[in-house]
Amino acid sequence: MEMNKYIDHTLLKADATYDKIETLCAEAKEYDFASVCVNSYWVSACAELLKGTDVKVCTVVGFPLGAMSTKAKAFETAAAIADGAKEIDMVLNIGEMKAGHYDAVRADVKAVVEAAEGNCVKVILENCLLTKEEIVKACELCVEAGAAFVKTSTGFSTSGATPEDVKLMKDTVKGRCLVKAAGGVRCYEDMEKMVEAGADRIGTSAGVKLMQKETSDGGY
């Protein structure tokens, strides 16, 4: 697979305007990225801007904390799918994961998977808040719930993806789902390391700079 098709071209900042979303979509079309990843308000606009291309619209659910009710996550998912989203990046219920309430964690993910009606669901574990053992267990729960991907990070917490965590996740899921690395992937070499470790998708706000083999000065 070409490197451009690993990239979910991302804009999740609170101050995103339509002009910035329009630019994001134009860049995604130019570089033929896998998707654009935006907050749900912008899904319908992106679906219109990307009509006729194979660039998918991805949105976030329960973002960035994961502490929303399961009903709210499912409703948010269904609304996003109706607006044109083809991929959902949901945040795990991190508090319940830390507490060892695994049935609740699994049910939370499963509700979103069901609401997505067969569309791709990626589950953000927020690895920086979990132990290695919790990362492994969370991956297992996501597989059991039918998720298409497990994902390292929101990019909005204390740290982002590491090649070590990507490898741990890849080794844990054993091909039963895919792995997305996100948060802090700001240069082409970072992306190469994540792919080498087993990442099937890269979430980054620096997609254009990555393809131009430049380094981003910040962002998701």
From the candidates 122, 151, 170, 190, give the one annotated as an active-site residue.
Answer: 151
Round to whole Å and give the CA distance between 15 and 38.
12
Residue 94 has pLDDT above 70, yes or no: yes
Round to whole Å and give the CA distance between 219 and 185.
9
Determine the pLDDT at residue 220.
Answer: 62
Query: Among residues of the chain, what percentage have pLDDT more than 70?
Result: 98
In a domain, 140, yes or no: yes
CA dihedral sign of residues 212, 215, 216, 220: positive
Closest CA to 6 of 213, 200, 154, 214: 200
Range of the domain at 118: 1-210
Determine the pLDDT at residue 201.
Answer: 98
Within 13 Å and on the Cβ side, how many CA atoms surround 153? 24
Each residue's pLDDT tens digit, 149-199: 999 999 999 999 999 999 999 999 999 999 999 998 989 999 999 999 999
Round to whole Å and give the CA distance between 128 and 121.
21
Contact 49, 25 (CB under 8 A): yes
In a domain, 189, yes or no: yes
Please count the structural domains in the chain: 1
Residue 151 annotated in active site: yes
In a domain, 218, yes or no: no
Q: What CATH number corresponds to the domain at position 203? A: 3.20.20.70
In a domain, 20, yes or no: yes
Each residue's pLDDT tens digit, 31-76: 999 999 999 999 999 999 999 999 999 999 999 999 999 999 999 9
From the candidates 56, 170, 180, 200, give the one annotated as an active-site residue.
Answer: 180
In a domain, 41, yes or no: yes
In a domain, 219, yes or no: no
In a domain, 220, yes or no: no
Residue 216 has pLDDT above 90, yes or no: no
From the candidates 8, 89, 165, 190, give the one annotated as an active-site residue.
Answer: 89
In a domain, 216, yes or no: no
Question: Mean pLDDT across the chain, nearest whole number?
Answer: 96
